């Protein structure tokens, strides 16, 4: 797929580096369906809750059988996580700025992750969870990435949206406003275990 430079340039104020996701679909109504958004938000909460509770079976149960991480199969990843879960007496896991993008074939959940273990280990940054439906129709994680880049929500006011529409960055017939397809309103998730 190719776009003329002029069309890409018209999106510059809309797509911020490291803050945007481009989804290609045949029809707009296939992207960010409300039922998919709510299913993925709940699945992400379940994943994080199982992690914070050190519920190894519940945690690994959110992953697809084809999942691999840094060359580890799901079985090897399970053994690795089991060792991690045993390493800490106290863990705090917090997820904020959750953003979800869905498509009929896949979904991406982006969030800021804050992990603390035993008061001496801290890791915070951006977590990306790539999901797809299994043969039973359940969302499962197929890939996971983490980096030290914290996401900051990008918001546009009505005037900025009007300018983008005028500049052609938003096709009024086929676009939604930025606010309409994010998971704003979702409260941060934080769980502490002992």
CB 86 within 8 A of CB 106: no
DSSP state of 8: H
3-state helix vs strand vs coil in the chain, percent to 5: 30, 25, 40
Q: pLDDT tens digits for 151-161? A: 776 676 788 77
Report if residue 45 sits inside a domain.
yes
Q: Where would I find the beta strands (DSSP E) of the chain?
A: 91-102, 107-117, 121-133, 139-147, 189-193
In-domain check, residue 7: no
Q: What is the pLDDT of residue 24?
A: 63
| pLDDT (tens digit per residue) in 97-110 | 898 999 888 999 99
Q: Report the alpha-carbon distance of residue 153 to residue 140 in Å, rounded.
A: 26
pLDDT at 167: 66
Residues in a beta bridge with 91: 117, 193
Domain that holds residue 120: 25-193
Helices (H), 3-157: 5-10, 34-53, 56-60, 74-87
Residue 62: closest CA among 48, 73, 81, 52: 48
Res. 192 pLDDT band, cuts 50 70 90? very low
53 versus 179: the higher-pLDDT residue is 53
Tens digits of per-residue pLDDT, 69-97? 999 999 999 999 999 999 988 888 888 98
Tell me whether residue 104 is in a domain.
yes
In a domain, 11, yes or no: no
> Which pLDDT does position 162 carry in this prediction?
76
| Length, in residues, of the chain | 194
**CATH code of the domain in which 130 resides:** 3.10.450.50
Residue 131 falls inside a structural domain: yes
The verdict on residue 125 lying in a domain is yes
The Cα–Cα gap between 28 and 8 comes to 19
Question: Using CA atoms, how far apart are residues 97 and 120, in angstroms rounded to an integer?
Answer: 25
The total of structural domains in the chain comes to 1
């Amino acid at each position: 797929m190719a776009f003329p430079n002029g069309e890409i340039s018209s999106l510059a104020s809309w797509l911020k580096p490291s803050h945007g996701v481009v989804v290609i679909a045949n029809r707009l109504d296939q992207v960010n369906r409300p039922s998919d958004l709510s299913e993925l938000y709940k699945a992400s909460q379940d994943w994080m809750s199982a992690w914070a509770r050190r519920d190894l079976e519940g945690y690994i149960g959110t992953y697809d059988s084809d999942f691999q991480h840094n060359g580890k199969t799901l079985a090897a990843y399970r053994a690795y996580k089991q060792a991690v879960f045993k390493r800490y007496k106290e863990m705090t896991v917090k997820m904020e700025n959750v953003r979800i993008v869905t498509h009929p074939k896949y979904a991406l959940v982006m969030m800021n992750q804050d992990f603390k273990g035993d008061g001496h280990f801290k890791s915070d940054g951006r977590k990306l969870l790539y999901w797809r439906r299994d043969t039973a129709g359940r969302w499962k994680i197929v890939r996971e990435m983490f980096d030290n880049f914290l996401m900051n929500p990008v918001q546009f006011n009505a005037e900025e949206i009007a300018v983008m529409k005028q500049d052609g960055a938003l096709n009024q017939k086929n676009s939604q406003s930025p606010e309409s397809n994010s998971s704003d309103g979702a409260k941060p998730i934080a769980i502490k275990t002992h």
